[in-house]
Amino acid sequence: MQSYNIQYRSKEDLQNARQRLSEVHPEKTLLQVFCGEPDEKYISTLIDDLRTVFPKAAIVGTTTAGEIYDGESLDKTTVISITQFEHTQVQTALIKQNQDLFAGGLQLAKALHSPEIKLAILFGCGIKDGGAINGEPLLNGFQQECPEAVVVGGQAGDNGFAQKTFVFTEEGLTDSGVAAASLNGEKLFVDNRYNLSWVPLGKKMTITEAAATHIKTIDNRPAKEVYSHYLGDDVGDRLPHSAAEFPLVVERNGVLLARHANRVLEDGSLDFMAPFYPGEQVQFAFCHTDLVVDSARKLYDEFSKSNHQAIFIYSCLSRKWVLGQDSVIEIAPLASLAPTSGFFSYGEYFNSQGENMFLSQTMTVVALAEQSDSAETALQEPRDQYDFQEAQTKQNQDLQALHRLVETSAKEREELISQLKIALAEIKTLQGLIPICASCKNIRDDKGYWNEIDEYIAEHTEAQFSHGLCPGCAKELYPHIYKKMMDEKDHQERS
């Protein structure tokens, strides 16, 4: 397996890249294209050039909101990853509709299904009717037909303008469909992981009213009002733009998912990129560069345990917005392990424990290696160990302390509320009209039986009785004791 990346400016760049391969086996060659020019004419020319220089090779491409090129974050360029496999077969498919994404997922899976399928790379158009597309139905449809494949990829971008995106294969392009490639072969090793870095903060809140991607209320409060209440009017007034800085997170299938609002509706409800469900518990989340450093180091350590020959990154545009140029902090270390390419997307596709998931505000990474004929994984050229800044910054220490303070306070508050709820549930009270005998003062219960008043109250409340005699009863029943008690009282009052 051989993999390398180029920046495309003309057909000559492709011809120079072609010379690096001694021979081309089209059925084992994958050209992954990340195009920063969302222009139909430009893409058509690009496809023609690729077909001419790499005839019959598998092509899968997408427009982007930024490109990733061997540890660098670029804008409005075209990056092409060229991978020549030794044993793995490559196949592509293209659908040109997104009216029924579940059916589109089924169609793609049927076209790509193979007994030896290991990986499916999906690029879906990211914009429809001026809004972001929810990719969950597409992934669900694909999984129903092809559950054994690891699915990666993401939704096409157009540099943040949210107007029109394109995906394409060697068969053509579309602005309303999905392009995909499958990698098939038992000697292919796939390792996919993700990096969120956003940390949950504050109390857990409950989605109380929602329909698909539309959230009306959280904790029985209009969703927009929740942002203003906890984060201030400045954040609430800047919605939906401020939502990228403070997304809501929810845990599903052991994966922490982040979601941010795309639109604010007149009734104070919010429309999100992907759905939440009534009853789910969510929290606000926060991200900072120093927190990303820690996550990047962990991700690097995990991938460095194995020898990889190509790494593909599909990261959310929101990370680029929030982190700015610091987004390279989590990209550059991976480029020290293998040739690395990818793009910033309008939503990422990920597979966790056999379940396909639609993510946002996340960086997803898939690393590939192919077993050689010698039964050992072939190695790329030796690369230098990436040098992380070992000294933790004071700002990072302060952020971690602040995070601990907020989380501990929220946890203690939830525990106190839980204890109060238990205590309230155990309290018994008497309410309403209670039938009582005018003579003996016995009380009639719900079943029609008469009970002595002390027995009834003990059964229906937490009160306990200690018996004594009132002055009137003492005088009637025990006159001599009563007289003695009164004499002692008069003596005490006179003295």
What are the pLDDT digits (tens) for 419-473?
A: 887 777 766 666 677 888 888 888 888 788 888 888 887 777 777 777 777 888 8
Residue 448: predicted pLDDT: 84
DSSP 8-state secondary structure symbol assigned to residue 306: S
Residue 379 vs residue 45, higher pLDDT: 45
pLDDT digits (tens, 9 = 90+) for 225-255: 999 999 999 999 999 988 888 999 999 888 8
Distance CA 52, CA 33 (A): 15
Distance CA 78, CA 36 (A): 6
Distance CA 321, CA 429 (A): 56
- Residue 239 buriedness (CB in 10 A; 0-12 / 13-18 / 19+): buried
Residue 375: predicted pLDDT: 41
Residue 292: predicted pLDDT: 85
Nearest 5 degrees, angle CA 246-CA 276-CA 145? 125
Q: Do 364 and 350 form a contact (C-beta atoms < 8 A)? A: yes
Q: pLDDT category, 201, cuts 50, 70, 90?
A: confident
Residue 35: predicted pLDDT: 98
Predicted TM-score (pTM) of the model is: 0.80
Distance CA 430, CA 237 (A): 48
Residue 391: predicted pLDDT: 44
User: What residues contact 138, with CB distance under 8 A and at least 6 apart?
Assistant: 101, 102, 104, 105, 122, 124, 178
Sheet with 78-84, strands from edge to edge, namely 2-7, 78-84, 29-35, 58-63, 167-169, 172-174
Nearest 5 degrees, angle CA 150-CA 356-CA 160? 100
pLDDT digits (tens, 9 = 90+) for 362-386: 999 999 999 866 444 444 444 567 8
Residue 148 vs residue 197, higher pLDDT: 148
- The mean pLDDT value for 142-163 works out to 96
Amino acid identity, position 116: E
Does 392 have pLDDT greater than 90?
no
Backbone angles phi, psi at 204, to 5 degrees: -80, 135
| Gyration radius of the chain's alpha carbons | 33
Helix axes 40-53, 11-18, angle to 10 degrees: 30
Distance CA 233, CA 77 (A): 39
Q: Do 68 and 74 form a contact (C-beta atoms < 8 A)? A: yes
Distance CA 326, CA 319 (A): 9
Q: Cβ–Cβ contacts within 10 Å for residue 189, how many?
A: 16
Q: pLDDT category, 152, cuts 50, 70, 90?
A: very high
- Burial string for 130-159 (b: 16+ CB within 10 Å, else e) reads eebbbbbbbbbbbbebbeebbbbbbbbbbb
- Tell me the pLDDT of the chain averaged across its residues: 88
Distance CA 437, CA 449 (A): 12
